[in-house]
Amino acid sequence: MTEAVTKSLTVDRPHVPADPANPPVVVFRDVTKTFTQPDGGGTFTAIERISFTIDDLPGKGEFVSMLGPSGCGKSTILRILAGLKPSFPATSGTVLVKGKPVLGPGPERGMVFQSYSSLPCYTVLQNVELGLRLKGVPRGDREEIARHWIQRVRLGGNEHKYPHELSGGMQQRVAIARTLAVKPKIILMDEPFGALDRMTRWEMQDLIVDLWQNVEATVFLITHDIPEAVHLGDRVYIFTPSPGRLLEEIYIGPPTGPAAEVQRTADFTALANEISRKVEQAG
């Protein structure tokens, strides 16, 4: 059995010197989003003056877990970054990806939703090919790429099944394969494992860590599962209730072993409880 090495909590993250030739992957600067309520119901501010920077670490990406009470604007942040309406564009502030303003959706950003997002009339292979087809990748090439990622997410042999023939965990594997097939530099995950049982969640956490370390992407994960956030995150962002503000950034380092082993240790439980107290105080 692999020895599980636990993380430690620190508010300090590694210093990355400024490099004009290699700007940060993501910059949010004083970002606020206010929605207009229908039928003259006034306005509602979802997030207020959110600022953070995710550096482009050579040879790897960061995994950012986002925690906070329901309605604190975590999904709004992800959708602004993804360029998805109605959250996009922000009401005020600046959003940059590799030094350029976000103007809408782009192939360098991929999103995995909580709800199963495969097209029911498409097979697994066709669903994984979808993003490649939209990019104009030739049929033969896209099928080869799709089959590669189906194998990587451990769905080999299921290429010609339809979504209704798959378990929930398998359907999320399809969504992950479809996202990674287009090689995004930023992966946005909104409660992707929320509907799965604990054992399946652990399996999916290990899978996403393995894939993340290979694709060297920056990952943003929204989750209400604090052990999941602590296990996966290089750093954890804690947000206040609406209007969401970034209360605290905590650097805890990358995953250190298999989820089922690490999350059963006393040290990990103590760290998760400490983060949990911070989340409770934020509320």
**pLDDT tens digits for 51-90?**
999 998 777 789 999 999 988 999 999 999 999 999 999 9
Instruction: Give the pair of three-digit tokens for residue 273.
Output: 């409880």
243-279, pLDDT tens digit by residue?
A: 999 999 999 988 889 999 999 999 999 999 999 999 9
Same domain as 131, residue 68: no
Same domain as 179, residue 52: no
What is the rounded CA–CA span in Å between residue 52 and residue 66?
12
What is the rounded CA–CA span in Å between residue 154 and residue 238?
33
Q: Which of 161, 183, 205 is the last residue of a domain?
A: 183
Q: Which of 214, 249, 202, 228 is nearest to 55 (CA)?
A: 249
Q: What is the pLDDT of residue 254?
A: 83
What is the rounded CA–CA span in Å between residue 132 and residue 55?
27
Residues in contact with 181: Cβ distance below 8 Å, sequence separation at least 6, in sequence order: 128, 129, 131, 132, 145, 146, 149
Q: What is the pLDDT of residue 60?
A: 75
Same domain as 128, residue 101: no
Same domain as 125, residue 254: no
Q: Is the pLDDT of residue 1 over 50?
A: no
In a domain, 142, yes or no: yes
Instruction: Give the pair of three-digit tokens for residue 8.
Output: 């430690």
Give the burial class of 91: count Cβ atoms within 10 A of its Cβ; 0-12 exposed, 13-18 middle, 19 or more buried: middle
For residue 207, the domain's CATH number is 3.40.50.300
Q: What is the pLDDT of residue 2?
A: 39
Give the burial class of 143: count Cβ atoms within 10 A of its Cβ; 0-12 exposed, 13-18 middle, 19 or more buried: middle
Same domain as 38, residue 79: yes
In a domain, 223, yes or no: yes
| Number of domains the chain is built from | 2
Domain that holds residue 162: 117-183
What DSSP string runs through 200-241? HHHHHHHHHHHHHHHHT-EEEEE-S-HHHHHHH-SEEEEEPS
Residue 3 pLDDT class (50, 70, 90 cuts): very low
Same domain as 241, residue 268: yes
Same domain as 278, residue 207: yes
CB atoms within 10 A of CB 180: 25
What is the rounded CA–CA span in Å between residue 112 and residue 78?
11
Report which of residues 14 and 11 the model is more confident about: 14
Instruction: Give the pair of three-digit tokens for residue 200.
Output: 């399946």
In a domain, 20, yes or no: no
- Mean pLDDT across the chain, nearest whole number? 89
What is the rounded CA–CA span in Å between residue 275 and residue 262?
16
Q: Is the pTM of this model over 0.75?
A: yes
Same domain as 196, residue 104: yes
What is the rounded CA–CA span in Å between residue 67 and residue 204?
19
Same domain as 208, residue 70: yes
Q: Which of 130, 160, 183 is the last residue of a domain?
A: 183
In a domain, 252, yes or no: yes
In a domain, 209, yes or no: yes
Same domain as 144, residue 45: no
The predicted model gives 134-157 an average pLDDT of 93
Q: What is the pLDDT of residue 197?
A: 87
In a domain, 210, yes or no: yes
In a domain, 2, yes or no: no
Same domain as 54, residue 176: no
Q: Which of 166, 183, 200 is the last residue of a domain?
A: 183
Instruction: Give the pair of three-digit tokens for residue 151.
Output: 């194998």
Same domain as 72, residue 195: yes
